[in-house]
Amino acid sequence: MDEAHACPRRIGLASPLAMKDTQPYGTYAPTGLVARIARRTGRLSYGNWGARRLALFLRRVGIGLLRGKPLDVERYGARMRLYPYNNNCEKKVLFTPQFFDPEERELLERHLEPGCTFLDIGANIGAYALFVAAFAGPRARILAVEPQPDVFDRLTYNIAQNPFGTVKAVACAVADKAGELTLFVDPRNRGESSLKIVGTNEGAQIRVPAVTLLDLAQGEGITRIDAIKLDVEGAEDLILEPFFRTAPASLHPRLLLVENGTDQWQIDLPALLQANGYRLLARTRLNLIFERAG
């Protein structure tokens, strides 16, 4: 199933931020001091304060040595090409993969079975989607949804470097309504781009197609969802409120991993989830994980 898909009306996706690199995987293999830094930072303990400070220092050194080039590496059982400059996700996955949502990844691996259906909304460059694909087996079904054109290009490149055949990239935003919407892009950290104006991302705007979560699932012929990871920078409530109001219970995910946007949500999202049969399973530094009873 390794393929890319555009939502209906893919309009206005040309972006001055776009950067597409089609060089073969391995062109940017780590060498020399950068390779040694990547090995060293990847072994340092996240739980040790001193080791964490050292890892962050070495990561800055490594990024400086790259001089704008990416690196081709294997992380979480998958091949990826990573650009650690304007995307915090790629910085962490490249030099300090043990720092990238370790509790969340452990929980997904523990709860998801082979052949699962997993939706990665706000997939970025595919770290979550490819992590799940690496252990979920050939019968799994994984959607990786990303609206930013240049980040989407990185996502599809990373998917294509792996033999899983279970990940489908979808080029659109997920929102409370279908149509063409404005995405506010943070050029300093592309992972913080959002349909809401948050942080410092007011300066750049692009128009992207959007669908509702229910329309996305039904359009892909999905009848069961085992888990959804939803990382959309404060717009989680806009997506989930209409979904739980209109979607059949058979589509309610068994596991829901949501970035904690309490200060930005317009509704009490945990209360909404509780009313729909969910309990808080875990709270991490950045995310809330809910499990559906039964």
pLDDT value at residue 182: 87
Contacts of 53 (CB under 8 A, 6+ apart): none
pLDDT value at residue 6: 58
Beta bridge partners, 82, equal 71
Categorize the per-residue pLDDT at 267 as very low, low, confident or very high, splitting at 50, 70 and 90.
very high
Distances from the Cα of 129 to the Cα of 159, 190, 285, angstroms: 9, 17, 20
CA dihedral 72, 27, 161, 22 (to 10 degrees): 120
| Confidence check: pLDDT of 15 > 90 | no
Q: Which two three-digit tokens encode residue 255?
A: 């596991």
Q: Which two three-digit tokens encode residue 234?
A: 């404060």
Give kind and range of the element (H or E) at residue 228: strand 227-230
Q: Enumerate domains of the chain plus CATH numbers.
A: 3-16+100-292 (3.40.50.150)
Categorize the per-residue pLDDT at 203 as very low, low, confident or very high, splitting at 50, 70 and 90.
low
Contact by Cβ (8 Å): 81, 154: yes
pLDDT in tens, 88-145: 999 999 999 999 999 999 999 999 999 999 999 999 999 999 999 999 999 999 999 9
Contact by Cβ (8 Å): 110, 212: no
pLDDT value at residue 200: 46
Contacts of 52 (CB under 8 A, 6+ apart): 44, 45, 46, 99
pLDDT in tens, 47-70: 888 999 999 999 999 999 999 999
